[in-house]
Amino acid sequence: MVYERLRKHLDAMPAGFPATESGVEILILKKLFTEEEAETACRMNLMPETAEQAAERLGRDAGELADLLYRMSKKGLLMRTRSGDRVFYMSAMFLVGIFEYQVDRLDAELVELFRRYTDEAMAREMLRYETPQLRVVPVGESLDPSMEIAPYDEARKILASQKTIALAECICRKMSAVRGTPCHAPIESCFAFGAMGEYYIENGIGRRITLEEALRVLERNEKAGLVPSPANAQRVGGMCSCCSCCCEILKALKKDAAPGGKVKSNFYAELDGDLCTGCGACLDRCQMDAISMAGETAAVNRERCLGCGLCVVECPVGAIVLKEKAPDERYVPPERPAETYLRIAMERKRT
């Protein structure tokens, strides 16, 4: 069956698309792809190529294939990039990729299928490897100005380094809204950069914004208690702003006994019990339940701390500060996303 071949094709990509006992992943593919689209997707790869190059390789009519590839890319089933007047197509992984590209096509059925697949397979798959697709950087106000912070650990510097910035809706919070349980946080909160940003803009699932607007959105996201989560690379293609009530990755992390060890972050929160007044303002701010009351003062469980700094900003008496991890604990992300996914692919082969 073509949909099972497509599942195997997607599972052979770095991020994976594992099978389930229920077969819910096949139902997702049948909803998203026609049989013709599924057959074509099976024969595409992660190397960009023009429609003419793909047609020659596949023995297809170039004009007909060009129309099909463009339609598929508009549906978020393939990635499309441009160089001058040339258009290139390539396979898209399921996550991050096809899943996020459906943000404007969600209905109750698709949302339920995504939820089932996450519960049955994808959440476990996302946390199975040493190299994650996303990492955590601190909210800007939580950083001590005297610290020498690497540019890839500062959300504002990440934004400032981009030529193209697209703002898109968060698919996780959009799904919560479709389910009838809307989140308190803004839905339009995710950034896409560079070629990915242009793809979002051309497909109408994101809008082009200036750096000034992006900085205002980032500040709004931080005030809403969202965790800045850029892609796990120094040169990133996007940055999410996540909440543990909607984000599938944070929801999966929150169930872990020590989520702080599963994320890539170079910081942790430290609380001074002598300064703490026990007001509890930090408790609700923490997305990982890393803070609890220990008698009349709060205490931070470092094994659960993501190092996002949201609690630091919330504390009215300055009892919590963000600390850099020791040199032997610090993480230097891969320079480019391609290296990130190569690492993930190698880790998948070993397991």
Q: What span, in angstroms and rounded, lies between the C-alpha atoms of 299 and 269?
A: 10
Predicted local distance difference test score (pLDDT) of residue 125 = 84
Are 243 and 185 in contact by the 8 Å Cβ rule? The answer is yes
Residue with the two structure tokens 């923490």:
286
Peptide bond into 103 cis (omega under 30): no
Q: What's the pTM value of the predicted model, to 2 decimals? A: 0.93
Q: Phi/psi at 80 (nearest 5 deg)?
A: -130, 130
Scanning the chain, the segments in alpha helix (DSSP H) are 2-11, 24-32, 35-42, 51-58, 62-74, 99-101, 108-117, 123-126, 155-160, 171-178, 194-202, 211-223, 248-254, 281-285, 310-314, 337-350
Q: What span, in angstroms and rounded, lies between the C-alpha atoms of 52 and 59?
A: 10
Q: Could you please report the per-residue DSSP string of 36-88?
A: HHHHHHHT--SS-B-HHHHHHHHT--HHHHHHHHHHHHHTTSEEEEEETTEEE
Q: Could you please report the per-residue DSSP string of 195-223?
A: HHHHHHHHTTSEEE--HHHHHHHHHHHHH
Are 280 and 296 in contact by the 8 Å Cβ rule? The answer is no
Report the candidate in 63, 204, 178 with the shortest Cα–Cα distance to residue 115. 178
**Alpha carbon distances (Å) from 78 to 25, 82, 93, 116, 330:** 18, 13, 9, 23, 35
Q: What span, in angstroms and rounded, lies between the C-alpha atoms of 132 and 176?
A: 24
Residue with the two structure tokens 């397979």:
121
Q: How far is CA 271 from the centre of its chain?
A: 29
Are 135 and 308 in contact by the 8 Å Cβ rule? The answer is no
Residues forming a β-bridge with 322: 269
Residue by residue, pLDDT tens for the chain (351 residues) are: 999 999 999 999 998 999 999 999 999 999 999 999 999 999 999 999 999 999 999 999 999 999 999 999 999 999 999 998 999 999 999 998 999 999 999 999 999 999 999 999 988 888 888 898 999 999 988 888 888 899 999 999 999 999 999 999 999 999 999 999 999 999 999 999 999 999 999 999 999 999 999 999 999 999 999 999 999 999 999 999 999 999 988 998 999 899 998 899 999 999 998 999 999 999 989 999 999 998 889 999 999 999 999 999 999 999 999 999 999 999 999 999 999 999 998 988 876
Q: How many CB atoms lie within 10 A of CB 124?
A: 12
CB burial of residue 254 (10 Å; 0-12, 13-18, 19+): middle
Q: How far is CA 248 from the centre of its chain?
A: 9
Q: What span, in angstroms and rounded, lies between the C-alpha atoms of 90 and 46?
A: 5
